[in-house]
Structures are given as C-alpha cells and as structure tokens.
C-alpha cells in the first residue's frame, strides 16, 4: 500500500505562534514515517507560507528563512500544495492536512474553510464548531442554551470604548469582584487578566482589546481547575479528569509554557462521582458544540460541588508538556497511536461526507 501524504501546517499569525511551533515539533516526532509522507509548511507571524525540509529547522526556527514558498489553492480539483522556488513551481498532492495552528486563523474556522473549499480532509473540528468554540461569548451562549453551567459573564465590544467606564461599573455591580477578563478569541491564556477593582478592570479590558475587538468578563470561580481530553467523531470518548494546581495566581501563559512550575495530577484528586459527572459534561459540551476529532474541555469544580465549564479548545496544545496528550496517554493512547488515530479517523470521516 502506498503511503499517504500528510501536510503539517504550523506557526500562524496568532499570539500563540510559538506554542503552535512547539506543538508541531511534538506531533511531527510522533507521525509514523512508515505510513505517511510528511510535508512541513510553516506560516510566519506575518502570514508568509514557507515549505521547510526538516524537523530540526522547526525546532530551531530556521524554517522562517526558507526560500520555498507554499500555497494551498482552494481548487477542489487539485487537492495539492503548490511549492514555488524562484520560477519553479511544484504541485504536491496532499491526502490530509494536520493543522497545528492555535488561535486566530488556525483554530477559528478560517483554515478549516480553506480546506473545505479545497476538499482536502483535515484533522480536527469543522468550520462552525471551530468558530463557535473560539469565540468565548458564542461558547457561553450555546452552552447556556444547552443547560451546561458556565461562569456568569458579560461582554464588551471595542465600539463601547467611549462608554467604557459606564460599562465596567454596570458589569462590576452585576458580577462583583474579582473578575477575569479575556479576549473573546484567543487561547493559551494570552491577554487574560484578573481585576480586583474598577480601575484594574478597565486596564484589563484595554489589555484584552490588544488581542481582540470583543472582550469577555467572567465572575471569579473559587474552585479546582480540571481538564478533560475528548477524542472521536460519532462516538467520542472522554479521558480521565486531569487537575492543574497553578503555581501562579491563575494558570496563565507563563505558567503553561515558560515557567512550567504548575503541578499536574492525572487522575484529578476528586471523587469517582465527581469525575463521572465532569466526563459526562465534557461529552455533552463536545457534542452540543459540534466538535469532532479532538478537543480539550476545561472546568472548575467549585467548593460547593458545582461543575462549571470554563472553555473548550478545539485544537489544544500538543507540546511535550501539554495536558491533552498527557490525558490521552493516561487513557492508554500513546502519542504515536494517538496521532495516527487522529489522522486515520479524519480520513474516514471525510470519506463519509
């Protein structure tokens, strides 16, 4: 049987560019080269697509200096990536794409839409679920409708800047302090701040506006931070629950990827009954939001026993220290097997549609 060609696309224009490159290294290292030919395409922070030859270049960042441009044409009759080296143009047929792109233009339905136009199968959630899960306001709305508890929340749009003080006063009166302020469309805790009074709330909103034009403000939840990995299409499965004990005041970007001093517990230090309820809720949310392939669902378990869904990540971090692969490995899916099954199931799903 001839090998399938999988294109791994990484990097991207979001604030999670570096994390995406880190995730790509881990995924590439676990792709079975006996089954797949691998094409590596990096997207710079400026949006330039570049073909790279080696994993070492991805690790070092040298891929950004590559001279071979890459283009993914939306022509459904081609199903290829065009490689342009000077006047030479090469058409490389692609069987499937693994888009290891976190955040803006990668996890928000945009590249998924391009791949749908090109009729190229891809790993992960589709256009709609990617877009809805990326926008924290839309996620809240869908989950609220489906009876899945989330933190009490409010939103502020950039058009409200001329009345920011008035908006913040109203939100503070409704939700109380402390509050968490987040860009509506960002991940890896980028742009997230904790506000303890009106002035810090306004400052936090301004910080979040540097990442997105819409900001979500949520009540503070005093509880354990828990995560569940979900895998699959028609009959998804949920991992055991993992627990994060942040070293910082909350589980921020530095704590996730720079300092790495948080403690992870798999399984979480909770009762079997609590674990069952959280896993069941993760699957309900995954299906309510139309997810497929993979997602990581994050929760708070409050001191009164309430299960509060924090957010859902349709292309979660896949670095060597990331929770998603660690949770799946604890379930018995080694990373080589997990990556292979993600590709295999995406191909099977595409064949059915």
Determine the Cα–Cα distance for residues 321 and 10; give it in Å rounded to an integer: 18
Listed range (114-118, 293-297, 349-353) with the worst mean pLDDT? 349-353
Q: Residue 85's CB: how many other CB atoms inside 10 A? A: 12
- Collect all residues with Cβ–Cβ distance below 8 Å to 222 and sequence separation of at least 6: 302, 303
Determine the Cα–Cα distance for residues 305 and 288; give it in Å rounded to an integer: 23
Determine the Cα–Cα distance for residues 25 and 56; give it in Å rounded to an integer: 9
Cα 255 to chain centroid distance, Å, stands at 17
**Bond from prior residue into 178 cis (ω within 30 degrees of 0):** yes
Q: What is the mean pLDDT of residues 20-28?
A: 98
Residue 194 has pLDDT above 70, yes or no: yes
Determine the Cα–Cα distance for residues 248 and 259; give it in Å rounded to an integer: 10
- pLDDT tens per residue, range 275-330: 999 999 999 999 999 999 999 999 999 999 999 999 999 999 999 899 999 999 99
Determine the Cα–Cα distance for residues 228 and 9; give it in Å rounded to an integer: 25
Instruction: Report the SS3 class of residue 333.
Output: coil
Determine the Cα–Cα distance for residues 276 and 193; give it in Å rounded to an integer: 31
Rounded (10°) CA dihedral 55, 263, 148, 293 = 20
DSSP per position, 16-77: THHHHHHHHHHHHHTS-TTTEEEEEEEE-TT--EEEE--HHHHHHTGGGG---EEE----TT
pLDDT at 251: 47
Contact 139, 289 (CB under 8 A): yes
User: Average pLDDT of the chain?
Assistant: 94
Q: Note the pTM of the prediction, 2 decimals.
A: 0.92
- pLDDT tens per residue, range 126-176: 999 999 999 999 999 999 999 999 999 999 999 988 999 999 999 999 999
**Bond from prior residue into 267 cis (ω within 30 degrees of 0):** yes
């Amino acid at each position: 049987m001839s090998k399938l060609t999988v294109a791994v696309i990484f990097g991207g224009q979001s604030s999670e560019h570096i994390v995406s490159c880190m995730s790509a290294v881990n995924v590439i290292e676990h792709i079975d080269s006996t089954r797949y030919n691998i094409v590596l395409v990096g997207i710079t922070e400026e949006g330039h697509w570049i073909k790279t030859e080696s994993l070492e270049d991805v690790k070092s960042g040298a891929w950004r200096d590559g001279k071979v441009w890459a283009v993914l044409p939306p022509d459904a009759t081609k199903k290829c990536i065009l490689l342009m080296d000077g006047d030479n143009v090469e058409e490389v047929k692609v069987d499937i794409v693994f888009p290891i792109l976190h955040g803006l233009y990668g996890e928000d339905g945009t590249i998924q839409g391009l791949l749908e136009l090109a009729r190229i199968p891809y790993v992960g959630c589709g256009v709609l679920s990617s877009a809805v899960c990326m926008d924290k306001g839309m996620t809240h709305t869908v989950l609220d409708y489906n009876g899945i508890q989330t933190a009490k929340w409010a939103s502020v749009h950039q058009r409200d800047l001329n009345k920011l003080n008035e908006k913040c006063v109203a939100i503070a009166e409704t939700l109380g302090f402390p509050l968490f302020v987040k860009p509506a469309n960002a991940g890896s805790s980028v742009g997230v701040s904790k506000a303890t009074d009106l002035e810090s709330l306004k400052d936090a909103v301004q910080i979040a506006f540097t990442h997105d034009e819409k900001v979500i403000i949520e009540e503070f939840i005093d509880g354990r931070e828990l995560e569940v990995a979900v895998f699959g299409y028609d009959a998804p499965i949920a991992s055991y629950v993992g627990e994060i004990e942040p070293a910082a005041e909350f589980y921020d970007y530095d704590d996730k990827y720079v300092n790495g001093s948080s403690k992870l517990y798999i399984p979480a230090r909770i009762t079997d009954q609590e674990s069952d309820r959280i896993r069941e809720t993760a699957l309900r949310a995954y299906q309510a939001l139309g997810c497929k392939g993979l997602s990581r669902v994050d929760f708070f378990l409050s001191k009164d026993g309430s299960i509060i869904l924090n957010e859902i990540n349709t292309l979660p971090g896949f670095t060597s220290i990331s929770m998603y692969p660690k949770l799946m490995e604890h379930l018995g899916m080694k990373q080589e097997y997990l990556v292979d099954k993600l590709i295999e199931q995406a191909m099977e799903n595409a064949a059915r549609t």
